[in-house]
Amino acid sequence: MDTIQKALEKHQQKFQEEYSDTLKQEGDASDQQRDPFDNTTEGDPSIKKTTYKEIEISFDHLALQGYILPNEDRSLIKEQFRQIKRPLLNKAFGREDEQIKNGNLIMVTSSSPAEGKTFNAINLALSIALERDRNVVLVDADVINPSLNQALSVTTDVGLLDYLNNEVNDVADILYKTNIENLNIIPAGTAHHLTNELLASDSMSNLMSEMASRYSDRVIILDAPPLLHTTEAPILATLAGQIVMVVKEGVTKQQTVKDALSLLDPSMNIGLVLNKSRQKQDGNYYGYYGT
């Protein structure tokens, strides 16, 4: 082997050693700045990934409860929520002139209990999770009367209130990865007598801001309390970019809807979903309130 060849090999060996050191340093930095909401597994295998809690959602249970099934070809409920989600996604990720601030932070509520807000929040999350380029975090923000776990037939331990009350310090501890691709859940957590103050805290505002802004593909859906029955819902509304209000046909009175809407800033992007509609199209109706 001539001198030139030996010199080239020596130089290549030195380069590889320096490159390996650089990768290790970058991996260490990534460990320190890891994002608890990043579920991706791509990248250098030497980089430590966050260990998430995982829950399995039964597809049989989804079918029995009338929810969207991620693996089914077509269904009426799937088509309905395709129509509902499209204007929401346009305002979050559409043309620049369509986008609104915090458009990817969507609060689902109603004027009164038992109007179907959790049913609609879950289906909206399932529908958006089917998008190829979207990641959904479904948050049970109805902390006084949480129903997300029961609705999905899953069991969790800590959740949102535990984080806001400093019982847990890492957001990754309250973020549950599901067996449905692109769908993550944050449960309500342990009941607390200061729910109003916790939801109005800087910790809540910072958490929502972090979730909404960290990644451009993320959608956060808040299953919020009814507007007329708690003081928590109007607080959450100030954090959201879009509001979806569920109205149960034949049950929710027009004045009740007006009273609920009066608690919100009319300049907000507020959409109405007509739930359990008996109209000829046999589907949910979605439309905007105000301007």
Residue with tokens 């069991």: 155
Q: CA separation (Å) from 138 to 26, 115, 148, 149, 221?
A: 32, 19, 9, 11, 5
* pLDDT for residue 79: 93
> CB–CB of 171/137 below 8 Å?
no
State the average pLDDT over residues 258-276: 92
* Residue 104 domain-assigned (yes or no): yes
Identify the residue with better confidence: 108 or 230. 108
* pLDDT for residue 112: 94
Residue-wise pLDDT for 188-221, tens only, equals 999 999 999 999 999 999 999 988 888 879 999 9
Residue 145 CB neighbour total at 10 angstroms: 14
- Which among 64, 63, 28, 59 has a CA at the least distance from the CA of 44? 28
Element holding 184 (H helix, E strand): strand 183-186
Task: Give CA–CA dist 38/172, Å, rounded.
Answer: 10
State the average pLDDT over residues 263-289: 72
Task: Give CA–CA dist 110/119, Å, rounded.
Answer: 11
* Residue 210 domain-assigned (yes or no): yes
* Residue 36 domain-assigned (yes or no): no
* pLDDT for residue 22: 41
Lowest mean pLDDT among 79-93, 196-210, 276-290: 276-290
* pLDDT for residue 73: 83
* Residue 2 domain-assigned (yes or no): no
* Residue 142 domain-assigned (yes or no): yes
CATH of the domain at 102: 3.40.50.300
Residue-wise pLDDT for 2-55, tens only, equals 554 555 455 556 545 554 554 444 444 434 444 555 555 455 554 445 567 899
- pLDDT above 80 (res 141): yes
Task: Give CA–CA dist 180/70, Å, rounded.
Answer: 8
Task: Give CA–CA dist 201/164, Å, rounded.
Answer: 8
Query: How many structural domains comprise the chain?
Result: 1
- pLDDT above 70 (res 259): yes
* Residue 145 domain-assigned (yes or no): yes
Q: What range defines the domain where residue 63 resides?
A: 54-289
* Residue 130 domain-assigned (yes or no): yes
Lowest mean pLDDT among 9-23, 67-81, 124-138, 184-198: 9-23
* pLDDT for residue 5: 53
Share of the chain above pLDDT 70, in %: 77
Share of the chain above pLDDT 90, in %: 66
